Amino acid sequence: MSSESNQYPAEFLLHHARISPELKTIAQKIFESERLTPDEGLLLFEKAELPFLGMLANYEREKRHGDKTFFNRNFHIEPTNVCVFSCAFCSYSRVYKHREEGWELSADQMMEIVKKYDDQPITEVHIVGGVHPRLNLQFFCDLIRRIKAHRPELHVKGFTAVELDYMFRKAKLSVAEGMRTLKEAGLQSMPGGGAEIFHPDIREKICADKVDAEGWLHIHETAHRLDMPTNATMLYGHIENYVHRIDHMERLRALQDKTHGFNAFIPLKFRNQNNDMSGVKESGIVEDLKMYAVARLFLDNFPHIKAYWAMLGRQTTQLTLAYGVDDVDGTIDDTTKIYSMAGAEEQHPGMTTEELVRLIHRAGRKAVERDTVYHELRDYSLEATPSDQPVNT
Ligand code: V47
Ligand code: SF4
């Protein structure tokens, strides 16, 4: 594959006998960089076959990024898994009264984690966890200040809108005041968690008690207005249907039109172990690839579509690189438990930079290390690949 392949086979799709006129119209719109309507997004989910979706999503991906596939060097801090909420899909949290079954890290313990990476060229710490009733805004501002004092160049990305909504309400601050306070302490960006599915019919069933769609979007909008970039996720492949997925992406697309503050959209595949939705089957690989492809085509104002390899597994992640994905998150270094507790293939997610680069190159793409805000730090495709690597990886 190469970036020259942008001319590719528009004609082939537009003249293929098996492709319906409606799908050809959609293909034409993609080739002419026109926005898809929600109905067209739905049609892609419902009627388009995987090879068609793959071709279009790959066309769009290569038009934007060529073969580049981004990753960063990061680690996570999960301050606690004690949580005041009880999302049905969550395998990770423990309620306060059973907190002895979970963990709560002190600020000193978290600083020990940060210091462990002192001699490594890590660029980002990703802080996310349960919503603990006793860990407040002040605690996290102090933690961020300590991290920045210790290692000023380390980018601090932290807290889902769910954690922030609770922190701000407890501190009796408006969202704008709370976000400003965190920014002054050194918070630089936010991850995309907590979005789940915005549509109230589904949200009520899977996470009724936490911040709703409007609250989530308001927090991200406020971050964007303070020049803080954020990501957006969607938990897919459980009890939602395609209408809910399109509704979710449509709300994100509308906010992005206003602020341009989102960097990446991350579809998160629902994993069904050790949670209250264990009876719900997980999606198969065809459905996963369709999800990434439709996201790439529908979210025309999102620069990046990310496959979070720790959750999806390495091989599916490689495949997604041909279905619209241009980012695979980071090295992680076995510092997150959210997915291993929910049954992901990766029980101790962590890859060396060399492994991550090899994973990307074996899929026929170019590995580019980025920082959190997508400044390119190093293009590994320009470096010689050691010839003694086994070919079956
Ligand atoms: O909000 C929880 C999800 C999210 C399950 O922004 C589950 O760069 C699947 O948002 N099956 C947190 N998913 C993780 C997250 C994230 C991860 C990596 C990178 C970024 C980023 C964000 O994990 C939660 C929830 O949607 N989650 N339980 C489960 N059983
Ligand atoms: Fe708490 Fe987040 Fe788990 Fe929901 S998904 S129960 S908010 S840790």
Q: What is the pLDDT of residues 322-339, one digit of tens each?
A: 999 999 998 887 666 666
**pLDDT (0 to 100) of residue 333:** 74
**pLDDT (0 to 100) of residue 332:** 81
Q: Would you say residue 393 has pLDDT above 60?
A: no
Q: Would you say residue 9 has pLDDT above 90?
A: no
Mean pLDDT of all residues in 220-238: 98
Phi-psi region of 170 (alpha: psi -120 to 50; beta: other; left: phi over 0): alpha
**pLDDT (0 to 100) of residue 205:** 98
Counting ligand 1 atoms within 8 A of each CB, the residue from 338, 339, 370, 373 with the most, and so the one to mutate, is 338
Average pLDDT of the chain to the nearest whole number: 92
**pLDDT (0 to 100) of residue 262:** 98
Band of pLDDT at residue 102, cut at 50, 70 and 90: confident
Burial 37-47 (b: 16+ CB within 10 A, else e): eeebbbbbbee
- The binding-site residues of ligand 2, defined as CB within 6 angstroms of any ligand atom, are 83, 85-87, 90, 92-93, 130-131, 162, 207, 210
**pLDDT (0 to 100) of residue 3:** 44
Q: Would you say residue 295 has pLDDT above 90?
A: yes
- The binding-site residues of ligand 1, defined as CB within 6 angstroms of any ligand atom, are 89-91, 160, 191-194, 196, 231, 233, 235, 266, 268, 270-271, 275, 308, 329, 338, 342
SS3 content of the chain, % helix, strand, coil (to 5): 45, 15, 40
Mean pLDDT of all residues in 128-143: 96
For residue 109, report the distance from its CA to the centre of ligand 1, in Å. Answer: 23
Q: Would you say residue 120 has pLDDT above 50?
A: yes
Q: Model confidence over 360-379: pLDDT tens digits?
A: 999 999 999 999 999 999 99
For residue 266, report the distance from its CA to the centre of ligand 1, in Å. Answer: 9
Classified as helix, coil or strand, 236 is strand
Closest ligand 2 atom, CA of 86? 6
Q: Model confidence over 52-95: pLDDT tens digits?
A: 999 999 999 999 999 999 999 999 999 999 999 999 999 988 88
Band of pLDDT at residue 384, cut at 50, 70 and 90: low
- Residue indicated by tokens 């970036």: 3
**pLDDT (0 to 100) of residue 7:** 52
Counting ligand 1 atoms within 8 A of each CB, the residue from 233, 278, 335 with the most, and so the one to mutate, is 233
CA angle 106, 111, 117 (to 5 degrees): 140
Classified as helix, coil or strand, 378 is strand
The beta strands (E) that lie in the chain are given as: 68-72, 74-77, 124-127, 155-158, 230-236, 262-269, 304-305, 327-330, 366-370, 376-379
Task: Identify whether the C-beta of residue 95 lies closer than 8 Å to the C-beta of residue 82.
Answer: yes
Nearest CA owner, ligand 1 atom 12:
193
The percentage of residues in the chain with a pLDDT greater than 70, rounded to a whole number, is 92
CA 37 to chain centre: 23
Mean pLDDT of all residues in 12-37: 91
